[in-house]
Amino acid sequence: MEGGVTGRAFQFQRFTRLNRALHVLLIVSFIALAVTGMSLKFSYTSWAAFLSRRLGGFESAGFIHRAAATLMFGLFVTHLWDVNRQRKREHGGSLLKLLLGPDSMLFNRRDLRELVATLKWFVGAGPRPRYGRWTYWEKFDYFAVFWGIFVIGSTGLMLWFPVFFTRLLPGWLINVATIIHSDEALLATGFIFTVHFFNTHLRPEKFPMDTVVFTGRMPVAEFKRDKPAEFEALVASGKLEENLVEPYQPVVIRTIRGFAWTALTIGTLMVLWIVYAMVFAYR
C-alpha cells in the first residue's frame, strides 16, 4: 500500500525537514519526561521503583527529566523561530496572513463547519468532509503542546527552583504547582498515548502506523484521499509538482519504522501502566 517502499513513484511532501526533526525530538523529550515523571508520580507501584532504578536512581531520573524539559523548551523556541521565518518568507512578513491564511494553525469557522460535518459523517448523516491542510483535531493536538508547555513548563520551573520562587510566592503555591504539573502531565501523556495515537496511527485506515511525520512524505493517492481540499487547491494552483519528492530508501523507512514502533510501544505500555496505577493500585 505504501508506494515508496516497493516502487519509485513520487510522493507528496507534507512536512519540512525541520518539522520532522522537531517532531522526533519532541517524541524523545516527551517520552523521557513522561517516563521519569510518572515514575515519581506513581512511586507507590513497584513498576515505578523498577523504572527509577533502571534510570539510575531518582537523581539521575531527575536529571533526565530536566534535560528533556530543556530540550523540549529548546525545540519549542526553534519552532516559534521557524514559524516566524515562514511569516517572513511565505507571508511577506505579515502576521495577519500567517494567522488567518488558509494554512493557518489557528481555529477558524471552517474548522467549526468541518467539526459539525465530521460528526454528521460519524453518525452516517453525511459524507466524509473534504479536509484541508490541517484538520481541527490536528490543530487541537498542536495547541495542546503549546498549552502543555506553558502549564507544565511554568509549574515545572517552580518545582525546579522552589527556593527562588518562594522569595516571591508563598510556600503552599509549590504544593499547588505540584498538583497542576502532575495532573496536566497525566492529561498530556494520557491524551498523546491514546487519542493522538489513535487519530494518527491506530485508526483502521492508517493501522498500524502513519509514518508521514517522520518521512515527511506520503503517497499522492493517500494525500488526495485524506486532504482532498488541499489536493485540489494544489492541483488548481499547479503547485502540486513543487511538493513532489522521491520516496526514501527502504533502509531509511525501516529505521523510521523501528523508531516509531519503539515510541508507540513505550507509549502504549505507559498507558497500561497508568491505568494499572490509577485503577488497581491507587492510594
Partner 1 sequence: MVGQGRPACGRTATLAAAFVLAALPASLAAQETADCLACHGERGFTTVRKGRTVSLYVPEKAYTASIHGSLACISCHTDVEGMEGGHEAPLKKVDCAACHEAETKQHAASLHGKAMKRGDSLAPTCAACHGIHDIRAAKDPASPVSPLKVPFTCGKCHQEGTVVMRQRNIHQDHILENYSESIHGEGLLKKGLIVAANCASCHTAHNILSHTDPASSIARGNIARTCTACHAQIEVVHRKVIKGELWEKEAHVLPACIDCHQPHRVRKVFYTQGMADADCLKCHQEKALRAKDGRTLFVDEREHQASRHAKVACSQCHSGVNVSFRRPCESITTKVDCGACHTEIAQQYARSQHGKLLLDGDPNAPSCKECHGTHGTLGRLQGSSPTFATNIPRLCARCHREGEKAAVRYKGPEHGIIEAYTESIHGKGLLKSGLTVTATCTGCHTAHGVLPRTDPASSVNRANVPETCGRCHHGIQEQFQQSVHYEMLGKTDKQLPVCDDCHSAHTIRRADADGFKLDIMQKCGRCHGEIARTYFDTYHGKVSQLGYTKTAKCYDCHGAHDIQKITDPRSHLSRQNVVATCQKCHPGATRRFAGYLSHATHHDPGKYPWLFWTFWGMTGLLVGTFVISGTHTLLWLPRALKMRRELREAEEAEQRELEKHEWAHPASPAGADRGASGPTPGGPGPEGRG
Q: How far apart are CA 15 and CA 120, in angstroms?
A: 30
Shortest distance in whole angstroms from residue 167 CB to partner 1: 6
Minimum Å gap between C-beta 275 and partner 1 is 12
Contacts to partner 1 from residues 83-122, by CB under 8 A: 119, 121-122
Q: Which is nearer to partner 1, 56 or 74 (CB)?
A: 56
By beta-carbon proximity to partner 1, the closer residue of 21 and 58 is 58
What is the 8-class DSSP label of residue 127?
P
CA distance 141 to 233: 24
For residue 167, the number of C-alpha atoms closer than 13 Å in the C-beta half-sphere is: 4
Between 92 and 124, CB nearer to partner 1:
124
Quote helix, strand, coil % in the chain, to nearest 5.
75, 5, 25
Binding mask 6-45 toward partner 1 (x if CB under 8 A, else -) reads xxxxx----------------------------xxx-xx-
Q: Which long-range contacts (CB under 8 A, 24 or more apart) does 45-52 make?
A: 45/273, 45/276, 45/277, 45/281, 47/273, 47/276, 47/277, 48/277
Interface residue with partner 1, options 142, 191, 259, 276 (CB under 8 A): 191
Those residues with Cβ within 8 angstroms of residue 97's Cβ, 6 or more apart along the chain or in another chain:
87, 91
Q: What is the DSSP string of 27-44?
A: HHHHHHHHHHHHHHHTTT
By three-state DSSP, how is residue 13 classified?
Answer: strand
Q: Is 235 a binder of partner 1 (CB under 8 A)?
A: yes
- For the CB of residue 106, give the shortest distance to partner 1 in the complex, in Å: 20
Interface with partner 1 (CB under 8 A): 1-3, 6-10, 39-41, 43-44, 48-49, 52-53, 57-59, 119, 121-123, 128, 137, 159, 162-163, 166-172, 174-176, 178-180, 183-184, 186-187, 190-191, 194-195, 198-199, 203-205, 207, 219-222, 224-225, 235, 240-241, 244, 246, 283
